[in-house]
A and B are shown apart, each in its own frame.
Chain A
Amino acid sequence: MKLESMYQDVILDHYKNPRGRGLREGDAEVHHVNPTCGDEITLRVRLDGDTIADVSYEGQGCSISQAGASVLNELLVGAKIADARRIQESFLELMQSKGRLEPDDEMEEILQDAVAFAGVSKYPARVKCALLSWMAWKDATAQAAGGEEATAQAAGGEEATAQAAGGEEATAQAAGGEEATARVGAVNHHNREIS
């Protein structure tokens, strides 16, 4: 049955036994929704320098969206921010492939359990479910990293101009977050049911 290509055992396992679920302390919190089906996620990111110390989350939704958050937690906690962004971009590429992308060894190495979502990319209505937590993470991380850099500048006791520069950078990062939200919006829009 073709359906098993979407509901891989790995996905069902993450759905039934979510990793790292629950909200813990974080540097930034975002709330993303999928307006079509009511999937929701509240996600926090805590950074330790350039390392992702924790990704905690609460949400409700379908198996694909909830398993997505669990896989994300497993993959990204402990990773360097730059590596995590590469994983996120790779996952996005896979999800936008409409089932035409056969993950190669390199992609499997990067995505690990997340490669199980390859089958989901064949179902346009479900891609946004898979991407929900990843877009939330991107948004939260941009906010957390922006805040961190601004704080670092301030803590460094630099002059007011440096602080202002840090603040500007934070704003730029926040704008990056907006971009992430806008992209989620675009994906949602593309797949919207008439409602």
Chain B
Amino acid sequence: MTQLTGLLDTEAIRKDFPALDRTVHDGRRLVYLDNAATSQKPRQVLDALTTYYERHNANVHRGVHVLAEEATALYEGARDRVATFINAPSRDEVIFTKNASESLNLVANMLGWADDPYRVDERTEIVITEMEHHSNIVPWQLLSQRTGATLRWFGLTDDGRLDLSRIEEVITERTKIVSFVLVSNILGTVNPVETIVRRAQEVGALVLIDASQAAPHQVLDVQALQADFVAFTGHKMCGPTGIGVLWGRQELLEDLPPFLGGGEMIETVSMSSSTYAPAPYKFEAGTPPIAQAVGLGAAIDYLSGIGMERIAAHEHAITAYALERLASVPDLRVIGPPDVRDRGAAISFTLGDIHPHDVGQVLDELGIAVRVGHHCARPVCLRYGVPATTRASFYLYSTPAEVDALVEGLEHVRDFFG
């Protein structure tokens, strides 16, 4: 085996994740390679959830009793942790949502209801890319259908990258918003943020970055990205499900209208009209996912304790090793960048004519969990002429031995259907 450098002490890390210790299908050790779908959860996060419910459970921002104050402090403490984690200039720029999809939909709806200069209408254009997750396509289709705005997108090159060759024709003076994924969930591509942001800024368009596959794996600095909004989700980064984040620049959050109305988001209410709380509360109607936010805070503590640079280096080494090993499997075609440069830890592939559903089923029998299908990015499958792909995706606890198990499993798949 090639000597890999930059690996984390996975033996110690894996002890923190109870699910990684389980067996499936009559005693086979689980090989969990579906991290782009969701990560497993460390004991530290599970404990934070349990402790919250056992000791501090109350509704937030109301009530003067001890538990209400503790719950509020924990919830707002999680906001502080997120703000630090993404280097936000202000904690008030961190909006809790239920997931990245809600964060993306929130921006689309803010712009749909906004006044000038932010308003999206029939004279304006929305720009996305062909490699977006459906959650960054459908909200913009809805917005364009409702407002008459034109939806445009960047196509892809044969090696799985954005085709930015005609960027000046795609992002124009009419563009109001450019929304794109930082790391593709299906191709693994890491996109050139600076090039796109620079062009958007030239024409005065807002920029929204879907960082769902970036936040768990690398340093995420919203100031360095220079975007206007950044969306991501908690459950892919060791946190619980039901908690997402939208970061937005403060002046935008002040100017843009709320989307959901309800408790928490108001200042005063009369029967004829209401005024709204300042951001972020203006965008957090109703009782928020309190325990889930606390869990996300614990996940951030956990990841920060290890260090995002070290996690990125570990995954880079594992991904390079996986690409090298997969290249040795006959009939295997990687859908996405063939090398590890500007690449995240998800690798999609096809295996001859064997349908990904069959590949995934046989791997599952060996205890290997991968994702099969179109990965909520069907336009990518259409672009590369495949009905679906098999995807292996890695995280801080993934090991070279698990890559070896995958490669052996694929040989078994070939034998089975050969």
Q: Mark out the residues of chain A between 132 and 149 whose CB falls within 8 Å of any chain B CB in the assembled complex.
A: none
Contact A126 B361 (CB under 8 A): yes
Given contacts A195-B134, A195-B376, is CB(A3)–CB(B361) below 8 Å?
A: yes
CB distance from A9 to the nearest CB of B (A): 12
Contact B365 A64 (CB under 8 A): no
Given contacts A2-B25, A36-B373, A38-B374, is CB(A129)–CB(B357) below 8 Å?
A: yes
Interface size class of B (residues with CB under 8 A): 20 to 34
Inter-chain contacts of B358 with A (CB < 8 A): 62-64
Q: Closest residue of chain A to B381, judged by CB?
A: A38
Q: Mark out the residues of chain B between 21 and 40 whose CB falls within 8 Å of any chain A CB in the assembled complex.
A: 25-26, 37
Given contacts A7-B416, A195-B134, is CB(A38)–CB(B365) below 8 Å?
A: no
CB distance from A179 to the nearest CB of B (A): 27
CB distance from A8 to the nearest CB of B (A): 13
A26 at the interface (CB under 8 A from B): no
Contact B372 A3 (CB under 8 A): no
Contact B388 A37 (CB under 8 A): yes
Selected from A7, A12, A38, the residue in CB contact (under 8 A) with B373 is A38
A159 at the interface (CB under 8 A from B): no
CB distance from B233 to the nearest CB of A (A): 12
Given contacts A36-B373, A63-B355, A63-B417, is CB(A123)–CB(B361) below 8 Å?
A: yes
B356 at the interface (CB under 8 A from A): yes
- Tell me the bound Cα distance from A62 to B413 in angstroms: 13
Contact with A along B349-372 (1 / 0, CB 8 A): 000000111100110010000001
A30 at the interface (CB under 8 A from B): no
CB distance from A128 to the nearest CB of B (A): 11
Contact A37 B361 (CB under 8 A): no
Contact B361 A38 (CB under 8 A): no
CB distance from A138 to the nearest CB of B (A): 23
Q: Mark out the residues of chain A between 19 and 43 whose CB falls within 8 Å of any chain B CB in the assembled complex.
A: 36-40
B6 at the interface (CB under 8 A from A): no
Given contacts A2-B365, A6-B361, A126-B361, is CB(A38)–CB(B416) below 8 Å?
A: no
Q: Closest residue of chain B to A1, judged by CB?
A: B365
Given contacts A12-B417, A38-B374, A195-B374, is CB(A60)–CB(B361) below 8 Å?
A: no
- Tell me the bound Cα distance from A1 to B362 in angstroms: 10
Contact A3 B387 (CB under 8 A): no
- Tell me the bound Cα distance from A2 to B26 in angstroms: 10
Contact A60 B373 (CB under 8 A): no
Contact with A along B36-68 (1 / 0, CB 8 A): 010000000000000000000000000000000
Q: Mark out the residues of chain B between 362 and 414 whose CB falls within 8 Å of any chain A CB in the assembled complex.
A: 362, 365, 372-376, 378, 381, 387-388
A193 at the interface (CB under 8 A from B): yes
A78 at the interface (CB under 8 A from B): no
A124 at the interface (CB under 8 A from B): no
Q: Closest residue of chain A to B364, judged by CB?
A: A3
Contact B362 A3 (CB under 8 A): yes
Identify which of B25, B372, B381 gathers the most chain A CB atoms within 10 Å of its CB.
B372
- Tell me the bound Cα distance from A9 to B125 in angstroms: 54
Contact B25 A126 (CB under 8 A): no
Selected from A37, A126, A194, A195, the residue in CB contact (under 8 A) with B356 is A37
- Tell me the bound Cα distance from A1 to B412 in angstroms: 13
- Tell me the bound Cα distance from A70 to B323 in angstroms: 37
Contact A37 B357 (CB under 8 A): yes
A61 at the interface (CB under 8 A from B): yes
- Tell me the bound Cα distance from A60 to B361 in angstroms: 17
- Tell me the bound Cα distance from A62 to B357 in angstroms: 6
Inter-chain contacts of A3 with B (CB < 8 A): 361-362, 365, 416
Inter-chain contacts of B373 with A (CB < 8 A): 36-38, 193, 195
Selected from B134, B355, B378, the residue in CB contact (under 8 A) with A62 is B355
- Tell me the bound Cα distance from A193 to B381 in angstroms: 17
CB distance from B47 to the nearest CB of A (A): 26
Q: Lowest 3 CB-CB distances: which A-B pairs, in order?
A: A62-B357, A62-B355, A38-B387
**A residues bordering B, Cβ < 8 Å?**
1-3, 6-7, 12, 36-40, 60-64, 123, 126, 129, 193-195
Pairs A–B under 8 Å by Cβ, sample size 24: A1-B365, A3-B361, A3-B362, A12-B417, A36-B373, A37-B356, A37-B357, A37-B373, A38-B373, A38-B381, A38-B388, A39-B357, A61-B387, A62-B355, A63-B355, A63-B358, A64-B357, A126-B357, A126-B361, A193-B373, A194-B376, A195-B134, A195-B375, A195-B376
**B residues bordering A, Cβ < 8 Å?**
25-26, 37, 134, 355-358, 361-362, 365, 372-376, 378, 381, 387-388, 416-417
Q: A2-B25, A195-B376 are in contact. List 4 more A-B contacts (CB 8 A).
A: A3-B362, A37-B372, A62-B355, A64-B357
